[in-house]
Amino acid sequence: MPWPAADFLVNLICGRDADGHWHGWYDVRLPAAALRPLGLHPDQPTATADGSSPPGWWHAEAERRAR
């Protein structure tokens, strides 16, 4: 890992969905300044998408699979 472990904040969020099944989500946080050496800081031009967006069906399929 290029960052010290103390810079990370990782939480696990658990709960039941509308259908009663249990689901878990990870919430990972890292200070924005720690992303700068990798070119991923929001103020850097390399952090923005520079290509076209995937087609609409791709987004719809991703949302269906996420549920």
pLDDT at residue 47, rounded to an integer:
63
Question: What pTM was computed for the model?
Answer: 0.45
53 Cα distance to chain centroid = 17
Task: Tell me: pLDDT of 48 over 70.
Answer: no
The CB density around residue 9, as the number of other CB atoms within 10 Å, is 10
Tell me the pLDDT of the chain averaged across its residues.
82
Between 1 and 64, the higher pLDDT residue: 64
Provide the residue count of the chain: 67
CA–CA distance, 29 with 10 (Å, rounded to integer)? 6
